[in-house]
Structures are given as C-alpha cells and as structure tokens.
Structure 1
C-alpha cells in the first residue's frame, strides 16, 4: 500500500491521514478504517478529476484514431482495452502506481468453474454472468485491433498483457470497482438544455469551501450495468457512448468496501475533484463503508464475489434479496395454446420478460397482468388490443391457479428443496459453496413465502365471497338483520 499512497499523493490526491488508514480486516480484506473519531460532514479524501481512469482520460482512443476506436463498439471493450494498455506501459503510464495496487484474483462468478456454478443451479443469476459475450468481444473486437496496431501493442507483450485472462481481470476490476461520474466542463455538456441542472449539495463548511454538486454512484447503483447495444440508431448510439464514457476507475474511492445497512460515507463531485465525505459520525476503529445501493446477494456474488450473510428471521441472507421468474415460466404455467401473439404484444407495449419478487413476497402486479392477458378469451383479447392496455392486475380463481403453478415450477428448478438445504451446515462448506447456498436458499424462501401469501389471499377472497352469498341468501329468505320495532 505504501507504493499506492505515495503515487496518490504525488499525483495530486489528498488524504486526511489522521482520519483514514488502509489496513487488512478479517472477512473484508483490504479496507478503509477510521484512525480517530470522524464527524459527519468531514472530508476524508479528494481525487482530482485528472486522476480518474476512463476512456475520456486515457490517451489510447486518440492514438488509435476514430476508425479503429469506433470498431471496438460502445460497450466495455474500449475501457477494458484502455486498462490493459495502461498496465502494459508500466511506469510510463500515469496510473502505474494505481494499477499495481489492484487485485488480480477474484471470487466473482466470472471466475467460477462449471462445477462451482452448478451450486447456483436454479438461480437466474447464471444468465447474467456474460462470460460468452465478453469472450466474443475479445475475439472479434479487441484481439484484431491489438494484432493490427503493433505500433501501440508490441507483439512481445501479447502473451503477457493482452490475453483473454487479462481481459477478464480488467473487466472484473471495472465491474467491481468503477463509478459513474458526471461529465465535467470541457469534456461534454453538463446537461441537456431541457434538463434540470444537478442539485447543488451545500456541504461547503465540511469540504473546505467547495460546493459539492452531487453524488457519484458506484457502477450499477444508478447506471445501466449490462450494456447490450443491439441495433441502435444514431441517437441511441450517442446515448450509449455517453454512458460508457461516464464509467471511470476512481483511485482511493475504490478502497472502501460496502455492506448492507452500514454506509457511512459517500463520494460527491465538484467541478475539479471528487470528495469522499462522512455521511454520519464514525467511531475510531470502525470501518468506513461506501454503498453499492444495497443490491441482492445474487448480484453481490456476481459482481464482487461475496454475500451479505446477515441473520434474518427465517435464515441467513440480506433484506435486499430477490428472486426472478421469467415470462416463459408464466406462459408454461398458463398452459395456453395460442400465446405468441399476445406475448409479442405484451413486450411491444413495454411489458417485462422477467418478474422480480422481493422480501415483501408480494405477487408483482405486472406478472398478474400478463397472466390475465394469457387467459383472455379471443373477444377479450381483441378488445385489449384495441384499447392498447393490458388487463388490470386482479387476482381471480384462474389467475391464482396460474400464479401458483408458476411459483411451483420456479421452485422445481433448484436441485435441493428448501427443507433439504436448511439441513446443510454452512460452517462445513467452502466459501464459494457457502455463498451459493445462501443465495439459492434466500430465493427459495421468497418463493415459498409468496406461495403462502397467495394462499392466504385466496382464502380471504373465498371467505369474503362466502359471506356475500350468505348475506344475499338471508335477504332472499326474509331473514335479514332484525329491525327495531317502531313505537
């Protein structure tokens, strides 16, 4: 760490070394720790914008030229190649001291073996790893440019710095450590003319006279983390290019870990720098935590390689855990013959192709709306089309049965039942096996509780209907509520 701290200071970064220390913490690894009591509003460190590593600040795009740079597309390939190139330059790179401090080994899902990924069977997080598409980008975009431009990428370094393995390493560094940073004057307009200017956050007393203009988010907290460009028109291409250009590696800020509910510092931006500011009092010896936006454990495991193993009422997990059901599973549960036209219309109208259940265990209204769409008669379907609106998310007998069947089908995707998984001792498992089990059991708990809640709703509805029928019957028999005799 001494090399990194020396580089940071010599490059213009400022650190309050009376307040912040970098040390190893069990279960968290390298961490930022308070060396003294820190008050809310104190500036912990500041990073000049010139120290950010992005496609805006690296000189590689300009050296490649427009044609070769644009051939990399507007996804992550460009930023990954910039990081590979800067690292290959060694001490010639402006970010040499920073890149040397970065991890080379990861526990994120990109680096799990097929056997290890099998422990997550049933979880739809397996569909979000993106390893195949990343390797396709490497073969079809990055490698041809590297081989073509030997003036920038010496052939002697291809086997050491421009390998597929290093491509995955740099990509994982971006996924786990980058931030989205608003453009600064001279790089791009701060905002469109028809948009409101960023809200000014006046913390000037705490930040040495600077006016903090807004928060800087960790990638994925308030950004599109998985960019799938597809076929874009010119305006869409410009939008996507702007999004990827906003992604930056931020030295020192990425030293802070995150844990659900523990956030006590946030990164803010000014015109000239980024500042980490304490958002609450931090006692001496406590870890300084940033926030990743409290994502579910499945996403933490995919991006960062760890989970929040918090003691909950029903087991170990995170209050932010979710489980998804694909629309395909809903269609299968509905057991309808002619559905493709309706599904296509649903998607064209902006309907989702997957439905998220959280720890409230409520049935998503959009899933219920799709179920009712699938169950419409032909006449009702044509009427819905003409109105351009899907059915209201109303739970009736038929939609209840389909929702129940979809939840049961989703549960059947896990190799172990929840009851079987609960008998497994987490303490006896390897870390990766343990983390996988925490993810899958949390998802199963949500599905089971949703089924229970659905059954309760059905019983309440039937009871209400029964009471209504009874009241109608009593009135028909002349046995309604007794009236007071008139005097």
Structure 2
C-alpha cells in the first residue's frame, strides 16, 4: 500500500485536511474515562483504545477505518517465531528484540491482564484482549501512529498512515498546531491555562489574546485550522510517482523493529555496540582490573556515564567519539594519565574538546588494536562476502514465504557493509 500522485505536486501545497475528531486517541476513544481513571497514557493507552474499538465491531466510530488495517497487524520481528528471531543473533537487533519483548510483556501484564481485565471483565474480556491481540494492536500503533499534539499524543490517523516512508527524502509532512492545552486540547486560552498562570503568580489579562493572534498569523483565523491536521508538500513530486512521508530519521534497527521494513539506502543507519562486549575486550587486552576501574572512573567523572551505553558505528564506518575517548583513556601510559588526573576539570574539558580521534589513536597503538578487535568480534559473518550476501538477497526477494529470512539477511548485509568500512578505517 502507498500513495501515488495523479498530478504534479508543488512545494508548500496542502493536499489534505484531516479533522482531529476523526483520529483515534486516548481522549477520543469510548473508554477515555477508564484510561484517565487509571492514568493510562502514551502508546499503551492508544493500543488499548484500538483493542477496545476493534472489540465492539460495527458499534465503533472507527469501524470502517479498523477494517482497513491488516488483520494480523504488521509483521514486526517481535512477533516472529523464536527460530526466526534467532536469525538476528549477533546483530544490533538481538538486544533490541530482547528489550522489546520484556517491555511488551510488562506493559500488557500491568495494564491489561492485572488491571483492566479483573476490574472491568464486562468490558475487557475474551480473545479481543489476549496477548496475541495486544501484539497485533501494538504493531499497528508502533508502525502507524502519529504524535498529533500535546493533548492527544500518539494517535491513529486515518489517511495519514497510508504513506510509505523514506528517510530524509520525504515529500509530505503531517502538520498541526501541537501547542494545545494538555487537559482539554484547546489551543485558545482556557480555564486550565488561566489557572496555571494564576498558580504561578503570573498576572493574566483576560483580554490578552497575543498567543491566539500569533497562531492566527501562521494558520489563519478560522477555527477549523486549529481542529485539523494538514498534509503538506515539503518536496515537489511529479505525476505518477509515489509520494513519501517520513517516520523520523531512524536507523534500520528502529525501522525494522517498529515499522517492519529495512531501507537499504538509509542515510541514518548505524550499528549499535554492546557495552558489555566492549568492556570484555578491553579487559582481555589490558588485563588489569584495578587500572581499568580507575581509568573508567576518571572518564565517568568527566563525562556522562550513559554515553557508554550508546556506542555505535555510523553509516560511514566511524565509531562514536565516546568509545574512542574511553578506550584511549584506558590505554594511556601511567605518566600521561597521572599528568591528566592532576589537572582541574576546566582544563581537562578544554583539552578533550580540542582532541580529535586521530590524536587519541596516535597516543597509543593499543587503542586502535582494541577498536579493531571490537569490530572484528562484531562481524559474525566474516566468512561470507557482501557479494555472496547480495546474491542470496536477490534469490530470496520473490519468495513471500521466506520474508523473515529475506529481511534478516538484508539487515545483516547492511551491518556487514558498515563494518567493512569501519575495519578499513581503523586497520
């Protein structure tokens, strides 16, 4: 499914207007009172809303829209068999799958199994609220929902969700006024906003409509402009070509796990590196636990320790600066480390700010050796060439029955392509 242009679409043209009262959100669903009562918000609230509206069939305001959605949801890796999920072993997807499965089970148990079903069995019962139906609804919300505004949050938006994705090369954006009251959804001055200002000891002039006037300059004075979403052209599109939206500047791990597809030419792609695997290789190379703890403590006192949980290789093969710096500090000779450790933080920040990756790599050959070991350890398909993998992908493409093998092989191919670049850089 997708959208094809029948005419030339020019920049800044509005091609569709979607009323906000047509979206399915935690505030528009028939069970909004229960969600509010139990403070169920965010994506899990949207998932439960979709499950409920689907369960009541033709009685739902969104019956027609729900009928247009895939019956079995979107085929995300988290819904694959354990055997098929094992195809991602050794890739960035392996850890993401483990995390996603744990989070999904926790959210289902906390909000549906242990809360809504026992307390409201007359509403939430039967197969419609099984874990399988929950996964189906989750896959649909994950792959199709849009953040409409600060009131509705992630919502199912008819029409807007049929555009396919293209990273950094989209033709349309879905736009709306996002700065609305979080309690009632109103853009204009309302009782909640007045109360907030009053409680904050801010003088409020009832006749001060500056915010409303500013918004009117952008969207026009008609009230319909505040109650609608607009699909606008941000990149011109020729007649008879597909029109693309963007789901965000995501890497392929995110695209496959949340949206169910891989983008072979994704300019935002990267490979995630496990902190545990990195520390294991550093320890094997340095063989001095006390020294390692001392150096990493020095690093964490200067920089955000969480930066060590986001190590990655970018699309061009460069590892992140935090990885090079943390390994570089671990590999410094004793005299140089002692010299640095006596400097005040202000001088250290200036010093490290000017430091480039090449400077760090040149200070100790061991730093480069450790990075290479990390990269080679990460390359689990070293015996297979990119050309061989490309042939396998081409042969699998027409076979729908082997979609999981096809997507996992695409994913491995992309990771190997990045790893090869990275190994060449740090060799």
Under a length normalisation based on structure 2, what TM-score does the superposition of the two structures give? 0.73
SS of aligned partner of 2:95: helix
Corresponding residue for residue 120 of structure 1: 88
Task: Please tell me whether residue 404 in structure 1 is matched to residue 369 in structure 2.
Answer: yes
Partners of 1:454 and 1:302 in 2: CA distance: 30
Q: Tell me, what secondary structure is at the counterpart of 1:44? A: strand
Match for 1:362 among 305, 318, 322? 318
Whether the aligned pair in 2 keeps the contact of 1:257 and 1:290 (CA below 8 Å) is yes
User: Of the candidates 205, 229, 232, which is equivalent to residue 277 of structure 1?
Assistant: 232
Note the C-alpha offset of 1:134: 0.6
Instruction: Give CA deviations for 1:263-309 in whole Å, capped at 9, x if unaligned.
Output: 11111114221111122332222111111234222322212222223
Which of these residues, 147, 150, 164, is aligned with residue 257 of structure 1? Answer: 164
Give 1:423 deviation, angstroms. Answer: 1.6
Q: 1:65 to 1:441 in 2, by over 3 A?
A: closer
Structure-to-structure mapping, 1:86-125, within 5 angstroms:
86-103=53-70, 104-125=72-93
- Are residues 98 and 388 of structure 1, via their aligned partners in 2, closer, same or farther at CA, if it must alter by over 3 Å? farther
CA distance in 1, matches of 2:415, 2:339: 35
In structure 1, C-alpha distance between the alignment counterparts of 2:32 and 2:300, rounded to whole Å:
37
Residue 379 of structure 1 aligns with which residue? Answer: 338
Alignment of 1:320 onto 2:268: yes
Q: Is the CA contact (8 Å cut-off) linking 1:34 and 1:284 kept in structure 2?
A: yes
1:96-245 residue pairs with structure 2 within 5 A?
96-103=63-70, 104-129=72-97, 130-150=100-120, 153=123, 158-183=125-150, 187=151
Distance 2:299 2:129 in 1: 44
Q: Note the residue ranges of structure 1 that are not aligned, 5 or more in a row.
A: 1-29, 188-244, 311-317, 456-487
User: In the alignment, does 2:391 pair up with 1:423?
Assistant: no
CA distance in structure 1 between the partners assigned to 2:369 and 2:148 by the alignment: 44
Distance 1:34 1:162, change over 3 A: same
Greater helix content: 2
Instruction: Report if the CA contact (8 A) 1:330-1:402 is conserved.
Output: no
Aligned position for 1:84 = 51
Aligned to 1:239: none
**Distance between the aligned counterparts of 1:37 and 1:291, measured in 2?**
20
Find the residue that maps to 1:277 and give its secondary structure: strand
The offset of 1:389, in angstroms, is 5.4
Match status 1:301 vs 2:256: yes
Answer with 1 or 2: which has the greater Rg: 1
SS of 2:126's equivalent?
helix
Q: 1:463-474 counterparts in 2 under 5 A?
A: none
> How far 1:31 sits from its partner (Å)?
1.3
The structure that is strand-richer by fraction is 1
Partner of residue 304, structure 2: 350
Cα distance in 2, alignment partners of residues 50 and 412 from structure 1: 52
Alignment RMSD: 2.8
Cα distance in 2 for residues equivalent to 1:435 and 1:385 = 51
Contact 1:418 1:441 in 2 (8 A): no
Question: Equivalents in 2 of 1:367, 1:385: separation in Å?
Answer: 23
Aligned to 1:459: none
Q: TM-score, normalised by structure 1?
A: 0.65
Conserved in 2, the CA contact under 8 Å of 1:179 and 1:247? yes
Determine if contact 2:84/2:404 at 8 Å carries over to the other structure: yes
Which is bigger in relative contact order (C-alpha 8 A, separation at least 6)? Answer: 2
Partner of 2:244: 289
